[in-house]
Structure 1
Amino acid sequence: MDSLITAAARALAVGDPLGALKRVALRDDASALALRGIAMAQLGDLARAKTLLRRAARAFGPREVVSRARCVVAEAEVAFAARELGWSTKALDAARATLDAHGDRVNAAHARHLAVRRLLLLGRLDDAERALADVDPLPLPPASRASHDLLVAGIAMRRLRTSDARAALARAERAARDARIPALSAEVESARLVLDTPAARLVAGGEERQLRLEDVEALLASPALVVDACRYVVRDERESVSLARRPVLFALARALGEAWPHDAPRDVLIARAFGSRFTDESHRARLRVEVARLRTAVRSMADVRATRRGFALTPRRAREVVVLARPVEHEHATVLALLADGESWSSSALGLALGTSQRSVQRALDALAAAGRAQSFGRGRARRWITPPLPGFTTTLLLPAPLPTD
């Protein structure tokens, strides 16, 4: 490897893409193409980066398997940055195996970190945790250790293990400082802000206050009966019941929880559950049926009793009933949560991350665009959607991942 290639690689390692381009911008050999691709990715030109990396992979000879595997890993990272989540993980797994077999532990770990980041974004926390457990961060250089601990912190936040998240972020901060990469330090600081900004709202006794992730963790461990409007679950200290597929029942549970310790009038329950401003005997009959279903669903945790003007929720073990609400009440809050990471998303990637159809996502994006909360650029398959970061709170509890139920 000549001196210019070595100098360009060192510049990229410390986050200096312009310094790298000064050395290899006019070269078209395989190594220079690969470094130019990585530099363009660091500068944000992801389409050009992908083209250069593919050219580099073709330019390396059949015996240069390690260099070709590194190009595959770099292209996977570019695809992730572009939020192209549909890429096949087989090529990345094969590249990682090649790097492992040839002793390139650092890039093999980086390949696994990319796979974990994709799993985390898709909400597959168990798979992400298992994959990350296979990586030993101790022999890795500081930048790789910082990336590893950022992933540990991300999983811990999504599982509401805030003490574990803070410890991981402290390790990531030390590693980023040792790596002397400003962009990495900024990423760690951005992750730290998630722990210190409001993540949800607590509604209890007719009052409302904001909660940080630590407060949410403490609430779910408390003896209260929690109507969780972030994951559509009713839970107490011992058990939980998911009503995610029964929206009418959850609407009734939430209305009863917000009214506790008082009862909720029938007309309010009908409006919340059925969306009707007017009530007649058919609505009241349907309300009785749905209340009976809710009573059956939560019978081990609470009773739903009839009163003169409506119904009331009475917990069996808990001392109080509270409602855990999302930081933003919006029909398309989960789409906004993904867009709020500041990256540009395709509708297909959003559908994959949310586990829903691309057409449903497109309808949500059109509604957000009409309301001025999202905007698009590009055409056809190259169309991407962005939105400004949502100020004042974290979107952790809006993301598509289950909260702990035990």
Structure 2
Amino acid sequence: MDSLITAAARALASGDALGALKRVALREDAPALALRGIAMAQLGDLVRAKALLKSAARAFGPREAVARARCLVAEAEIALASRDLTWPVKALEAARATLQARGDRVNAAHAGNIAIRRLVLIGRLDEAEQALGALDPTPLPPALRTAHELVASGIAVRRLRTEAARAALERARLSAKEADIPALTAEVEAAARVLDMPTARLISHGGERPLLLHEVETLFSGETLVVDACRHVVRKGDTVVPLASRPVLFALARALAEAWPGDVSRGALIARAFRGKHADESHRARLRVEIGRLRAALQGLAEISATKRGFRLAPRGLGEIAGLAPLVEGPHAAVLAFLADGEAWSTSALSIALGASPRTVQRALDVLAGEGKAQSLGRGRARRWLSPPLAAFPTILLLPGPLPSD
């Protein structure tokens, strides 16, 4: 590499995207195009960055497989930052294998980290945790160690392991301080704030209050029978009864839990579970059947007894009953939850993350846009959705390999 390319690479490694552009902005050779692409990505112009990286990959010769692989990894991270989850995962894996085989272990590890971040984003936590455990962050440079620890904290948060999440974030802070990249430090601090923000609502004894993540973890580990509307399960300690595929039973369980220690009238249960405005004998007969099914599902955890006006839920043994609900509820709450991360999502990416059809997601987005809860940017296939106000994209992007003088 010539002196200008070396200087631009060092500037990018320190987070100085503008400094890198000053050195290579007017050059059209392959290394300069790649560095310009990464710099533009760090500055937030992801469309231009993607075009520059594609040009760089084409400009590198057939013998420069490592350079082309690095461009592919950078493209993959830009796709992740722009929530383009349809970007070919096999191309990223092929690039990672090439880098690993050619001895570029740092960028190979970075490619693996991007793949893990994608798995976390779409909720495949078991695969993500297994892949993360196979990566050793020790030999990585500080910026990539920070990225590794951010992924570890993200998995721990989703697993409700707050102590593990805090430990990973503390390691991320130390690595970010060592990297001395302000944008990276800001990203770590933003991730840490999640632990100090309300994550759900506790409904008990006729009232409700917000809960922090560690309070939810404590609730789940205690003797309280929790009807969890965030995951649609009933749990007590290590015993979990999934009811996501049985919405009527879950609606009944939730209504009974939120009324504990009181009972719920038959009319209220019919309205909650069957959405019937006027209860007739057929509704009452169906309610008896569904209550019987709920008794069987919760056998060993709780009892359901009939009262004069309806039914009452009671725990078996010691402990109380409580309901746990999301902070925001409604027909499109899941879409809002993804948009709340501040990133710009495509309809196809939301479809993959939610496991719903693109048409269903588009209808939800149209409703949210009409209510002022979502806004779109661009048109056609480039259209992206986000929650106002706009937020910056992640800045952990591919850094060049070791320089000749290192």
Q: Same fold (TM over 0.5)?
A: yes
Once residues 270 and 389 of structure 1 are traced to their aligned partners in structure 2, the CA distance between those partners, rounded to angstroms, is: 40
**Aligned twin of 1:80:** 80
State the Cα distance separating 1:318 from its structure 2 match: 4.2
**Aligned twin of 2:131:** 131
Aligned residues: 390
8 A Cα contact 1:236 1:318, kept in partner: no
State the Cα distance separating 1:76 from its structure 2 match: 0.5
State the Cα distance separating 1:111 from its structure 2 match: 0.4
Once residues 389 and 252 of structure 1 are traced to their aligned partners in structure 2, the CA distance between those partners, rounded to angstroms, is: 38
8 A Cα contact 2:8 2:21, kept in partner: yes
8 A Cα contact 1:33 1:55, kept in partner: yes
| Aligned-partner residue type, residue 211 of structure 2 | L
State the Cα distance separating 1:388 from its structure 2 match: 2.7
8 A Cα contact 2:12 2:20, kept in partner: yes
Structure with larger RCO (C-alpha < 8 A, sep 6+): 2
Say yes or no: does 1:54 pair with 2:54.
yes
Deviation string for 1:98-120 (max 9, x for gaps)? 11122211111110110000000
Deviation string for 1:206-264 (max 9, x for gaps)? 12111111000010000111100100001112411111011111111000001111111
**Aligned twin of 2:185:** 185
| Aligned-partner residue type, residue 217 of structure 2 | E
Q: Secondary structure at the match of 1:249?
A: helix
Say yes or no: does 1:368 pair with 2:368.
yes
State the Cα distance separating 1:276 from its structure 2 match: 2.4
State the Cα distance separating 1:377 from its structure 2 match: 2.0
**Aligned twin of 2:176:** 176
Q: What does 1:8-27 correspond to in 2, within 5 Å? A: 8-27=8-27
Say yes or no: does 1:93 pair with 2:93.
yes
Q: Secondary structure at the match of 2:343?
A: coil
Q: What is the TM-score normalised by the length of structure 2?
A: 0.94
**Aligned twin of 1:339:** 339
8 A Cα contact 2:221 2:238, kept in partner: no
Which stretch has the larger CA shift, 316-325 or 143-152? 316-325
Once residues 303 and 85 of structure 1 are traced to their aligned partners in structure 2, the CA distance between those partners, rounded to angstroms, is: 45
State the Cα distance separating 1:155 from its structure 2 match: 0.5
Deviation string for 1:287-320 (max 9, x for gaps)? 1121112112112211211111000112213421
8 A Cα contact 2:8 2:20, kept in partner: yes
Once residues 389 and 340 of structure 1 are traced to their aligned partners in structure 2, the CA distance between those partners, rounded to angstroms, is: 10
Task: Give unpaired runs (5+ residues) of structure 1.
Answer: 391-406
Which stretch has the larger CA shift, 285-294 or 365-374? 285-294
Once residues 20 and 265 of structure 2 are traced to their aligned partners in structure 1, the CA distance between those partners, rounded to angstroms, is: 68
8 A Cα contact 1:199 1:326, kept in partner: yes
The change in CA–CA distance for 1:309 and 1:389 in structure 2 (over 3 A counts) is farther
Q: Secondary structure at the match of 1:153?
A: helix
Once residues 320 and 294 of structure 1 are traced to their aligned partners in structure 2, the CA distance between those partners, rounded to angstroms, is: 18
Once residues 229 and 180 of structure 2 are traced to their aligned partners in structure 1, the CA distance between those partners, rounded to angstroms, is: 42
Q: Secondary structure at the match of 1:235?
A: strand
Once residues 317 and 335 of structure 1 are traced to their aligned partners in structure 2, the CA distance between those partners, rounded to angstroms, is: 39
Q: What does 1:236-315 correspond to in 2, within 5 Å? A: 236-315=236-315
Once residues 341 and 6 of structure 1 are traced to their aligned partners in structure 2, the CA distance between those partners, rounded to angstroms, is: 35
| Aligned-partner residue type, residue 300 of structure 2 | S
Say yes or no: does 1:328 pair with 2:328.
yes
Once residues 210 and 318 of structure 1 are traced to their aligned partners in structure 2, the CA distance between those partners, rounded to angstroms, is: 24
Which stretch has the larger CA shift, 329-338 or 189-198? 329-338
8 A Cα contact 1:264 1:311, kept in partner: yes
8 A Cα contact 1:340 1:389, kept in partner: no
**Aligned twin of 1:382:** 382
Once residues 266 and 389 of structure 1 are traced to their aligned partners in structure 2, the CA distance between those partners, rounded to angstroms, is: 44
**Aligned twin of 2:393:** none
Moved over 2 A (4+): none
Deviation string for 1:50-95 (max 9, x for gaps)? 1111110111011111111100100101111110101221111111
Q: What is the TM-score normalised by the length of structure 1?
A: 0.94
**Aligned twin of 1:159:** 159
The change in CA–CA distance for 1:318 and 1:246 in structure 2 (over 3 A counts) is farther
Provide the identity percentage: 67
| Aligned-partner residue type, residue 317 of structure 1 | G
**Aligned twin of 1:208:** 208
State the Cα distance separating 1:345 from its structure 2 match: 0.7
State the Cα distance separating 1:389 from its structure 2 match: 6.6
Which stretch has the larger CA shift, 268-277 or 70-79? 268-277
| Aligned-partner residue type, residue 128 of structure 1 | A
8 A Cα contact 2:34 2:56, kept in partner: yes
8 A Cα contact 1:225 1:318, kept in partner: no
Q: Secondary structure at the match of 1:154?
A: helix
| Aligned-partner residue type, residue 150 of structure 1 | L
Deviation string for 1:149-202 (max 9, x for gaps)? 111101000000000000010010011011010111011101110001111111
| Aligned-partner residue type, residue 263 of structure 2 | D
Once residues 88 and 103 of structure 1 are traced to their aligned partners in structure 2, the CA distance between those partners, rounded to angstroms, is: 24
Once residues 92 and 348 of structure 1 are traced to their aligned partners in structure 2, the CA distance between those partners, rounded to angstroms, is: 19
Which stretch has the larger CA shift, 333-342 or 108-117? 333-342
Once residues 211 and 304 of structure 1 are traced to their aligned partners in structure 2, the CA distance between those partners, rounded to angstroms, is: 27
Q: Secondary structure at the match of 1:26?
A: coil
Q: Secondary structure at the match of 1:85?
A: coil
**Aligned twin of 1:403:** none
Q: Secondary structure at the match of 1:313?
A: strand
**Aligned twin of 1:397:** none
Once residues 346 and 118 of structure 1 are traced to their aligned partners in structure 2, the CA distance between those partners, rounded to angstroms, is: 15
**Aligned twin of 1:402:** none
